Amino acid sequence: MKKVIFSMCMTLVTLSSYAYMVGDNSEIVGNAGEYEKQGMFTHEQTGAMKPNFYCWKNKTLNSGNMKNAEIGILSGIDGKIYSTCEFAENEEIRRKCHLGVAPVGGGLAFVSMLNNKYLKCNGVGLQGGLLMRFRKLSATNPEEKFFLDKVKNGTLKDLESTNQLMELCKKTVTAARYVAGNDEYNTTNEQGMEIGGVNMVVVYKGDKVHINNIVQVGFIELIDAVTTSPTMGSLTVNFYLKDLLSK
């Protein structure tokens, strides 16, 4: 058994996606040789991540109404962006996909994937995905600032204060939305999403929003937005996700 200590975000999965362990002195514990055999880690980046806490950097997603562009949904579990038809045709993919850009409410938004008519496969809206809610984090709220600072400073570790986090989960909204050219909305509206800001994501099992049904919690850090209109374009994000059911 080999123990490896990382002090910064380190690569977990190679190839085209990037996963990171976040926080100072985060521990990676596991059987190094076995994971190297499976090709999951390279060189000194060996070991099983404990706990399952993922960070996916600089992921760009196009809105569902863009023409001649790849439309997809980001998985917070493996960091891949799956096409809308891969989502529609595969239940396993539906269970692990989180973020797709919906042109709705005058802007570009992340909304629940349970029933999403804004992202389509062959003209049909997506169904059967994850039920999600969102919460904008503000530096003026001490409880929110606690997590906001950790995301912004790169010191988010294991969502340390679970009770504090669950309190924030009690008040959520149905979307996290960026509206090009409307900084007031983006910065002050409870559904607003500003460049450089952070919105919390709450994922529920089943189809009922209840604190006892929460299975995952994460954070969206909006890095950039490129738009041709307020309701058409792409969003680039860092996505942090904690699976609360993992051992």
Question: pLDDT digit string (tens) for 124-173?
Answer: 999 999 999 999 999 999 999 999 998 998 887 665 567 788 889 999 99
Residues 42 and 96 in one domain: no
Count of the separate structural domains present in the chain: 2
Q: With a cut of 60, say whether residue 48 has pLDDT above it.
A: no
Token pair of 84, please?
Answer: 């809308």
> Residues 153, 200: one domain?
yes
Highest mean pLDDT among 19-33, 112-126, 143-157: 112-126
Q: What is the pTM of this model?
A: 0.80
Q: According to the model, what pLDDT value does residue 91 have? A: 97
Residue 163 shares a structural domain with residue 192? yes
At 41 the pLDDT is 27
Q: Judge if 229 and 123 occupy the same domain.
A: yes
What are the angstrom distances between the C-alpha of 207 and each of 33, 115, 127? 41, 10, 12
Domain shared by 82 and 159, yes or no: yes
Same domain flag for 182 and 85:
yes
Among 36-50, 82-96, 137-151, name the most confident range.
82-96
- The angle subtended at Cα 155 by Cα 151 and Cα 157, nearest 5°, is 95
Please check whether residues 44 and 143 belong to one and the same domain: no
* Domain housing 18: 1-50
Cα pseudo-dihedral 61, 19, 157, 112, rounded to 10: 30
- Name the pLDDT band for 50 (thresholds 50, 70, 90): very low
**87 and 32 share one domain:** no
Helix (H, G, I), strand (E, B) or coil at 238: strand
Does 30 have pLDDT greater than 50? no
The average pLDDT across 104-115 equals 97
DSSP 212: G
Q: Examine the domain organization and report whether 77 and 169 are in the same domain.
A: yes
For 142, residues 6+ apart whose C-beta sits below 8 A from its C-beta are none
Res. 43: pLDDT tops 80: no
Residues 168-219: pLDDT tens digits? Answer: 999 999 999 999 999 999 999 999 999 999 999 999 999 999 999 999 999 9
Beta-carbon contacts of 29 under 8 Å, excluding residues fewer than 6 positions away, are 1, 3, 47, 48, 50
State residue 117's pLDDT score.
95
**Strand runs labelled E in the chain:** 2-6, 26-30, 53-62, 72-75, 81-83, 97-99, 101-104, 107-111, 115-121, 124-127, 131-136, 175-178, 198-204, 214-229, 232-243
| pLDDT > 50? residue 12 | no
Residues 115 and 214 in one domain: yes
Query: Among 32-46, 113-127, 141-155, where is mean pLDDT lowest?
Result: 32-46
Answer yes or no: do 172 and 206 share one domain.
yes
For the cut 70, the answer to whether the pLDDT of residue 16 exceeds it is: no
Name the average pLDDT for the chain: 81
Say if residue 69 is in the same domain as residue 145: yes
